[in-house]
Amino acid sequence: MLNTLQTNAGYLEQVKRQRGDPQTQLEAMELYLARSGLQVEDLDRLNIIHVTGTKGKGSTCAFTECILRSYGLKTGFFSSPHLVQVRERIRINGQPISPELFTKYFWRLYHRLEETKDGSCVSMPPYFRFLTLMAFHVFLQEKVDLAVVEVGIGGAYDCTNIIRKPVVCGVSSLGIDHTSLLGDTVEKIAWQKGGIFKQGVPAFTVLQPEGPLAVLRDRAQQISCPLYLCPMLEALEEGGPPLTLGLEGEHQRSNAALALQLAHCWLQRQDRHGAGEPKASRPGLLWQLPLAPVFQPTSHMRLGLRNTEWPGRTQVLRRGPLTWYLDGAHTASSVQACVRWFRQALQGRERPSGGPEVRVLLFNATGDRDPAALLKLLQPCQFDYAVFCPNLTEVSSTGNADQQNFTVTLDQVLLRCLEHQQHWNHLDEEQASPDLWSAPSPEPGGSTSLLLAPHPPHTCSASSLVFSCISHALQWISQGRDPIFQPPSPPKGLLTHPVAYSGASILREAAAIHVLVTGSLHLVGGVLKLLEPALSQ
């Protein structure tokens, strides 16, 4: 029933062409809230930490929630998108709410909105708005001490921005993403993100390029919001042992620094019953912004940072000869950070004896992202194979409601994958690297290939493949060697393509296979669903 609230692909295109006034959409959200039985003022009781940004906002929220939970507080956490199950978006004490709780609150809200519809309004809000409303109801009914709320897209006109009085706001690292909705420069995007600032409510941001930082500063001044710049994590580590982070990757240090300030400010404002502003660490200004306080992280803060888990972001799964590196990076700068993390991880590994190591890229990109630019950034990883597939776990998605996406059509997503392959092959040709693997001819009389697009040998690199779903891609990459991912016998035709045939024997004999899955959080979610069956239970 929830999936019927997804906007279908054709309608989405129409809406993009005739986008209405975004302010009206916020007012519509307030109307939905009222029809659901809540007033905007009711949300003030949730003691909200509101976080936006282009990259790292989810990780920042995860760090913040875990720090405050380590103080014994009852936490609510609303995030998007989900990786495996939609319940992940609404968490209490770090855990997705139970299927029973989800069902109870879903129908309660659904029926309430049905009962209050009249001729002047659409009865049901779209998917994301519905879940946002539902999260607010869950957190109020379950009496959380605080709610960490991650913005969906943008800030100013995001439906979470009906929040009037958060305790504190945060802006993680800014970059280019969702350009059709937010604008095509970092400055325009910064203007949207600064829309979550509220009068008299402290806000924190990490060091940004000068242009977007100036926009955030001006936005804060217009709104009379005290905005602070987070000192680097090193400043908070001085005089104490270094901080250990539960999330890998150098870029997580900036997210952790922001999370510490958000948690520290939240705790201070609770002590003072919401009054007062943070004391700047020193009167000096950087880019005309006061620096946030430098303080010694408490033992609870250290514990929270160390225990933070946030699946699908710089996540490593070691499975026999296979190591899966999962990162939902989907913007240029987050893919750069992902490449640095992946290469560092490979440098630090133990090299196996007795056989070659193989590196495989599994990639997809969606929306208005520039796949050619992202793929170019991935070239330095020197992959032996690049594999492309849509964000579908299986060719048929029946019995797979959490992974259904009605906002795109199947032929659209498959064409996108073929375009990604062409970009990759073009980049490979530019590199003019010699063909590492010669491809023997396929088995005579094999059935038709499940791989899309045959390879004309003179136009394509011999090391890229397109599969029609994630399951087939994983079956080819793992060759039955992942002790947990053991699907029934591979479908006929998985090896009829010459590159698939020759690559299969190389993968079967490799001493180690390193697989980087990136480009889309939804792709990472589909991969996790198959590699970690417990996440679906």
Determine the 3-state secondary structure of 436 from DSSP. coil
- Cis (ω within 30 of 0) for the bond into 81? yes
Determine the 3-state secondary structure of 262 from DSSP. helix
Determine the 3-state secondary structure of 464 from DSSP. strand
- Residue 80 among known ligand-binding residues: yes
Question: 448 burial class (0-12, 13-18, 19+ CB within 10 angstroms)?
Answer: exposed
Distances in whole angstroms, Cα of residue 327 to Cα of each of 83, 264, 311, 465: 12, 28, 9, 20
Task: Give dist(CA 474, CA 480) in Å, integer.
Answer: 9
Q: Which residues contact 471 (CB under 8 A, 6 or more apart)?
A: 393, 394, 395, 487, 530
Per-residue tokens: 247: 């999330």
Task: Give dist(CA 169, CA 161) in Å, integer.
Answer: 11
Minimal CA–CA distance to 226: which of 169, 165, 166? Answer: 169
For residue 173, list its beta bridge partners.
55
Task: Give dist(CA 467, CA 471) in Å, integer.
Answer: 9
Q: Are strands 90-92 and 203-205 parallel, antiparallel or unpaired?
A: unpaired
Q: Do the beta carbons of residue 268 and residue 276 sit within 8 Å?
A: yes
Binding-site members for Mg(2+) are 80, 150, 178
Binding-site members for ATP are 313, 327
Binding-site members are 80, 150, 178, 313, 327
